[in-house]
Amino acid sequence: MYRFLLTPRWWGINVFVLLAIPFCVFMGSWQLSRFEARVDDHRAAEAQVESAREEAARPLAEMLPVDKATSGKQVTATGRYADQLLVPDRELDGKNGYYVLALLRTDDGKALPVVRGWLPGTADTAKAPAPPTGEVTVTGALQASETPGNDGVSARGGLPAGQTAAISAASLVNLVDYDLYDAWVTLRSADAGMTAVPASTPAGSGLDLKAFQNLGYTGEWFVFAGFVVFMWFRLLRREVEFARDAALGIAPDGPGTDGTGTEAAGSEGSGPEGTDVTDGTGSGPAVSAGAHDEASTPVR
């Protein structure tokens, strides 16, 4: 009954199945490993940020440029505060508010963006404390420049004067006339009246959309593998049922039958009156029923 498995058609089906299933399992496992790697990176980044709080602060120049190894590390910088800006639409502990961002002009002429703290409510320059005057030394966690549209960073424009949507050199260079570091610092201890902003994990190390895409692709590949197996068994069952029906004589075995092994109406030898039928021997033409009646009627 299973001899059909040796036909060229089924050889092709079987080879496809034997190749498709391992491929789907391999791709699903690879996507799962990518998701697990992102989870491990996220945990390592969080642990790095936590441990960095206990480490001694190092000079800013030694920690640049910012990368995954230096992000979250404690640094120190000395200079004088220049312009102060507000960064609206920033959440902290589930509450909406804004960052108070001051630009620290260092001795080399460049300015370091420093988040002095967070305040609740709508951004208002009247409520934001003025930065200290004179030379100051700040200590805080080093952070990479933000990218609008990522990690909750607003990408909207048209903000009022004195506000910026993202903390990055690319955004701030249009607001001030001096050079800036491609980094920023959030103070370890916020200035009076404000809440300190905790350091965030490096970009690309969190459980972002890409991580959950990997998890979704994992499920898809395993579903594909299951679908291949399901379709193979479905085709096998249909082929077995057809072979069994053919063996019992209930499957169509050629034209001119109705599928039950009997001849269909209108076939040779079963025509209605007035149609040609055979003479029962298959050796000569049949005489129509109408012609037979006419020949048997006497002529008057």
What confidence score (pLDDT) does residue 227 get? 93
More confidently predicted of 90 and 277: 90
Q: According to the 3-state scheme, what is the secondary structure of the chain?
A: CCHHHHCHHHHHHHHHHHHHHHHHHHHHHHHHHHHHHHHHHHHHHHHHHHHHCCCCCEEHHHHCCCCCCCCCCEEEEEEEEEEEEEEEEEEECCEEEEEEEEEEEECCCCEEEEEEEEEECCCCCCCCCCCCCCEEEEEEEEEECCCCCCCCCCCCCCCCCCECCCCCHHHHCCCCCCCECCEEEEECCCCCCCECCCCCCCCCCCCCHHHHHHHHHHHHHHHHHHHHHHHHHHHHHHHHHHHHHHHHCCCCCCCCECCCCCECCCCCCCCCCCCCCCCCCCCCCCCCHHHHHHHCCCCC
Mean pLDDT to the nearest integer, 23-47: 84
With bands split at pLDDT 50, 70 and 90, how would you rate the model's confidence at 72?
confident
**So what's the pLDDT on residue 261?**
43
Q: Residue 153's pLDDT is what?
A: 58
**Top-ranked range on mean pLDDT: pick from 54-58, 150-154, 195-199:** 195-199
> What percent of the chain is predicted at pLDDT more than 70?
72
Radius of gyration of the chain (CA): 42
Residue type, 27: M
Contacts of 193 (CB under 8 A, 6+ apart): 117, 119, 129
Instruction: Answer for the pair 136, 112: CB distance below 8 angstroms, yes or no.
Output: no
Instruction: Look at residue 78 and tell me whether its pLDDT is greater than 50.
Output: yes
pLDDT tier, 181 (very low <50, low <70, confident <90, very high otherwise): very high
Q: Which of 77, 209, 65 is nearest to 144 (CA)?
A: 65
pLDDT digits (tens, 9 = 90+) for 131-166: 988 999 999 999 888 876 555 555 455 678 888 888
pLDDT at residue 60 above 50? yes
Say which range, 26-35, 202-211, 228-237, has the weakest mean pLDDT: 202-211
